[in-house]
């Protein structure tokens, strides 16, 4: 056995012991008013960002044993007003087709309304996403349809804020 740390070891320590560099408090809109959660963004020593999300009261909460996928993205604008009508398109600074936008995230897997996920992403920095929004959609992203994966309506939103 070696005593070298892997990136996964570093990421687990970041989640366990460090304060996030930015976060977004996510709240549900008209379609899912009880939905809430927190998305945390951590700087890493690998020039990427570690993202952790914990979400409560997704729409499948009332069905025992249920699970469902929900699209999860960063959108261009940090304006959650008007039932999230002003968040703009996916964050896509390099003009890539979907699903290669910098704001395209892996889907959330809701289990009886609860989801937890963590992943590493090198397509943006904390500075790039500050002031933008995190959006949860009503359906899974199909990773094919243009421009945004046919992921249904926006059911939750949170603005990404830098921690000071």
Q: Which pLDDT tens digit goes with each residue over 56-75?
A: 999 977 777 778 999 999 99
Q: Give the fold, CATH level 3, of 7-162.
A: Immunoglobulin-like (2.60.40)
Whole-number average pLDDT of the chain: 93
User: Looking at residue 52, what is its pLDDT?
Assistant: 98
Q: Select the more confidently predicted residue: 66 or 24.
A: 24
DSSP per-residue letters across 33-68 = TT-EEEEEEEE-TTSSEEEEEEEE--TTTTSTT-EE
The structural domains of the chain, with segments of one domain joined by +, span: 7-162
Tokens at 52, concatenated = 């952790």
Residue 2: pLDDT band (50, 70, 90) is low
Q: Helix or strand or coil: residue 72?
A: strand
Residue 103: pLDDT band (50, 70, 90) is very high
Asked if omega into 147 is within 30° of 0 (cis), the reply is yes
Residue 76 has pLDDT above 80, yes or no: yes
Name which of 21, 97, 39, 164 is nearest 89 in CA terms.
Answer: 97
Residue 54 has pLDDT above 80, yes or no: yes
71 neighbors 151 (Cβ within 8 angstroms): yes
User: Looking at residue 13, what is its pLDDT?
Assistant: 95
108 neighbors 115 (Cβ within 8 angstroms): yes
Q: How many angstroms separate the CA atoms of 88 and 90, rounded?
A: 7
Residue 9 has pLDDT above 70, yes or no: yes
C-alpha separations of 5 from 16, 51, 156 in Å: 15, 20, 37
- Residue percentage of the chain with pLDDT more than 70: 98
Q: Helix or strand or coil: residue 129?
A: helix
Q: How many angstroms separate the CA atoms of 133 and 103, rounded?
A: 10
User: Looking at residue 1, what is its pLDDT?
Assistant: 46
User: Looking at residue 3, what is its pLDDT?
Assistant: 67
The residue to which tokens 């979907």 are assigned: 98
């Amino acid at each position: 056995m070696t005593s070298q740390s892997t990136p996964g070891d570093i990421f687990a320590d970041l989640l366990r012991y460090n304060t996030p560099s930015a976060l977004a408090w996510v709240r549900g809109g008209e379609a899912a008013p009880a939905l809430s959660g927190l998305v945390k963004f951590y700087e890493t020593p690998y020039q990427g960002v570690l993202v952790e999300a914990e979400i409560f009261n997704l729409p499948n909460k009332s069905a025992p044993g249920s699970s469902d996928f929900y699209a999860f993205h960063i959108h261009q604008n940090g304006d959650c007003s008007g039932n999230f009508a002003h968040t703009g398109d996916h964050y896509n600074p390099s003009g890539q087709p979907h699903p290669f936008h910098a704001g395209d995230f892996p889907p959330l897997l809701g289990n009886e309304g609860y989801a937890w996920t963590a992943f590493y992403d090198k397509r943006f920095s904390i500075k790039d996403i500050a002031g933008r929004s995190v959006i949860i959609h009503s359906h899974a992203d199909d990773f094919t349809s243009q421009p945004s994966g046919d992921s249904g309506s926006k059911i939750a939103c949170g603005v990404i804020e830098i921690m000071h």
